A and B are shown apart, each in its own frame.
Chain A
Amino acid sequence: MNGALVVPLGRAIDWAPLAVAAPLAVAGAWLVPAEFGVAVVRAAGAVLASAAAFALVDGMAAATAATPVPRWVRQWARTLMASLVAGAAWALAWRLAGVPGVLAGEAVVALLLALAGAGWAVRHVEGRAVALAGAVPVLACGAGTWATPGQGWWLAAGPLVLVVAVAHRDARPVRPSRP
């Protein structure tokens, strides 16, 4: 990948949701009483994940669909940049709240869920609001499993990375190369 791509892609990303979510997460962890630290950090993970999902919306997807630099490079670059920002904000919130590191697995899975949901949606539908699809799996999983923090979340990370990778594939799937 060409390093020159980072600057325009970074500028193309819709940072507004993360710009709102990151300060909220950090301020929340800082200001809220310690007894709520765990809950705030978990909520921060979900909010930041849903905000990061907005980075996958590409207004120029059609025009750049047939360039030699493939779609997955662009989408993964967006993914990484947004994940870095969301991850940094989460780590800061986590430090300020002073809660156990066990929560990291869950935060990573929330991020991957959001990226998978939004990645799948932007593949099929145009428009900015499509990224809301990232929050759907986060909320659905959160609703079902809120009561159980733990290391088990890491198990879900591997398959979810695969789902994200599938969503980031080229618009036109290929057969495996023949030898």
Chain B
Amino acid sequence: MTLTVFELRRMLRNPLIWAAAVLAIALEGVRAAQWWPDLTVVTLRAVTASTLVAGAVLVAANLAAGRDRRFPETLAALPGRAPSRTRAVLLAAPVVGALAAAVVIVPLVLYGHLRGPAAGSLDVWEALNGVALAALAATVGAALARWTPWPFTPLLVIFAFLALIFVNGLGEYGGWALPWIPLHDPTLGPRPSALHLLYLLLLAVAIGAVALLRHGLRLVPAAVAAVATAIAVPAIAQADYLPKPPPVACRQLDGLSFCPRAGYEPWVGRWAAALRPITSAVPPEALADMPALRQDTFGGLPQVWLTGVTEMSVAGRVATGVAGLEGGPACGKAQTVVALWLTGLVSGLEESAPADWTRPPDPIEKGPGWHEYPLTDSGRSSVSPGRLPGVVYDGADLVNARALLADPGAAVKVRANWAVLTDPATTTEQAAPLLGIAPIGGAKACGEAE
């Protein structure tokens, strides 16, 4: 017992663990600040960040349990036997690891919660997965110290874990038997987090028992390892995503119809707020024709919200819809200028028209005037040319829209002449007196580089 308290105190003062905790909070905090909080994602990301602490705890526990390998003579002559030292590390390290992981997860989740309006739901079991992961890492560290002689093996385990996280982020290989699945596809339904937590805890117990087995084949640790494994394996084998919650009703706001996915109702207000420059500029009858905005891949509302970027994708969709644009070449039309102007009300117009309207071979090298919108929180994104989905315009349209944007009375003029301006037959040239701008014409054919 005294030895356990001693190890506990040493671990609590371990700079590696706390440095990892600070780094995890800082890195994930900075990243999280750029996204509108979705508590489901926030929790997953916080747990993933806390695995940095788990790695540090793994190394710390490994060094602590391997201490008698580094000072064999001194410790071998002590009355306290090696098994009791292993046991002390096995009791102390998981506690400290769990504590340090909680120190990372709790503030990150609270931050998302307080910043609200947060979508998604806080799954406490999911958050506890991170705590259990740190505890599991501690027992793995101790077991490695007892079964493998080099200080390098804990690093290998850490790198293997990292490779799993990055390569196999959705758990395509291994499924719930993996220690952690960092990414989540909301279309699959809620994750079996409670069952996975149980699995991690049983795994920690089993591995701790395996560490003790290094000191001889004893009945108790052997039985504990066998029982824990016997429960954990069948339990995790039948783990699956939980049933999806029922869909929620669409909601009318500012004349638009928003249809969020279950859990994303709190974002309706934010979407409406982001679109208010448009909804307040156009006549109400224009909004009546706008189809409902749905939260699916082609429905206009994104799954994730990167602040300052995602607004543009929603605005582009709504502007195109209310202006009655159909897609395809639309250079020189009054409609196009109005639609571009509407998007400019949301996020400015300082960009050039895409030179190339066909998807380049390497999507990472997107040209000027292209927009990249995140699809998931993990780096998958869609890239699209221009700001009006499917609509081709040119630099002249942008110049004309910018001229309109510079006019403080533009909204009044647009509302007054809405029907004419959004008639597909009206050219910018014809609409110029109505808009009060001196329009320029495009130099090339629509869709060709200038």
Interface residue stretch chosen among A4-12, A40-48, A78-86, A165-173:
A40-48
Q: When each residue 20-55 of chain B gets 1 if its CB lies under 8 Å from chain A and 0 otherwise, what string results?
A: 000110010000000000000000000000001001
List the A side residues contacting B274 at CB < 8 Å: none
B63 part of interface (Cβ distance < 8 Å): yes
A116 part of interface (Cβ distance < 8 Å): no
A51's nearest neighbour on chain B, judged by CB, is B152
CA of A37 to CA of B338, assembled, Å: 47
List the B side residues contacting A32 at CB < 8 Å: 167
Q: When each residue 385-416 of chain B gets 1 if its CB lies under 8 Å from chain A and 0 otherwise, what string results?
A: 00000000000000000000000000000000
Q: When each residue 62-94 of chain B gets 1 if its CB lies under 8 Å from chain A and 0 otherwise, what string results?
A: 010010001000000000000000000000000
Contact A128 B167 (CB under 8 A): no
Contact B156 A54 (CB under 8 A): no
- A156 shortest CB reach to chain B, Å: 18
List the B side residues contacting A40 at CB < 8 Å: 163, 167
CA of A16 to CA of B156, assembled, Å: 12
List the B side residues contacting A16 at CB < 8 Å: 150, 152
Interface residue stretch chosen among A58-66, A69-77, A87-95, A132-140:
A132-140
Contact B163 A39 (CB under 8 A): yes
List the A side residues contacting B23 at CB < 8 Å: 140, 143
List the B side residues contacting A131 at CB < 8 Å: 151
CA of A166 to CA of B158, assembled, Å: 29
Interface size (A, Cβ < 8 Å)?
Answer: 29
B59's nearest neighbour on chain A, judged by CB, is A132
Interface residues of A in 1-57 (CB under 8 A from B): 16-17, 20-21, 24, 32, 36, 39-40, 43, 46-47, 50-51, 54
Known contacts A54-B152, A142-B162; A147/B55 CB under 8 A? no
Contact B156 A21 (CB under 8 A): yes
CA of A157 to CA of B404, assembled, Å: 49
List the B side residues contacting A143 at CB < 8 Å: 23-24, 27, 52
CA of A24 to CA of B155, assembled, Å: 13
Contact B27 A144 (CB under 8 A): yes
Contact A139 B152 (CB under 8 A): no
CA of A50 to CA of B55, assembled, Å: 14
- A64 shortest CB reach to chain B, Å: 22
List the A side residues contacting B147 at CB < 8 Å: none
Most A Cβ at <10 Å: residue of B59, B63, B167: B167
B166 part of interface (Cβ distance < 8 Å): yes
Contacting A132 at CB < 8 Å: which of B27, B52, B155, B162?
A: B155
CA of A127 to CA of B150, assembled, Å: 12
B379 part of interface (Cβ distance < 8 Å): yes
CA of A16 to CA of B152, assembled, Å: 8
B6 part of interface (Cβ distance < 8 Å): no
Contact B158 A139 (CB under 8 A): yes
List the B side residues contacting A139 at CB < 8 Å: 52, 55, 158, 162
CA of A131 to CA of B152, assembled, Å: 9
List the B side residues contacting A50 at CB < 8 Å: 152, 155, 159
Known contacts A140-B23, A143-B27; A129/B167 CB under 8 A? no
B152's nearest neighbour on chain A, judged by CB, is A17
CA of A54 to CA of B155, assembled, Å: 12
CA of A46 to CA of B55, assembled, Å: 15
CA of A135 to CA of B153, assembled, Å: 12
Contact B27 A39 (CB under 8 A): no
- A177 shortest CB reach to chain B, Å: 38
Contact B159 A17 (CB under 8 A): no
CA of A128 to CA of B71, assembled, Å: 12
A131's nearest neighbour on chain B, judged by CB, is B151
List the A side residues contacting B66 at CB < 8 Å: 129
Contact A127 B152 (CB under 8 A): no
List the B side residues contacting A20 at CB < 8 Å: 150, 152-153, 156
CA of A24 to CA of B27, assembled, Å: 30
11 A-B pairs in the complex with CB atoms less than 8 angstroms apart: A17-B152, A21-B156, A39-B167, A40-B167, A46-B162, A127-B70, A128-B70, A129-B70, A132-B63, A135-B158, A139-B158
**B→A interface (CB under 8 Å):** 16, 23-24, 27, 52, 55, 59, 63, 66, 70, 150-156, 158-159, 162-163, 166-167, 379
**A→B interface (CB under 8 Å):** 16-17, 20-21, 24, 32, 36, 39-40, 43, 46-47, 50-51, 54, 127-129, 131-132, 135-136, 139-140, 142-144, 146-147
Give 6 nearest A-B pairs by CB, closest first: A17-B152, A39-B167, A129-B151, A43-B163, A47-B159, A36-B167
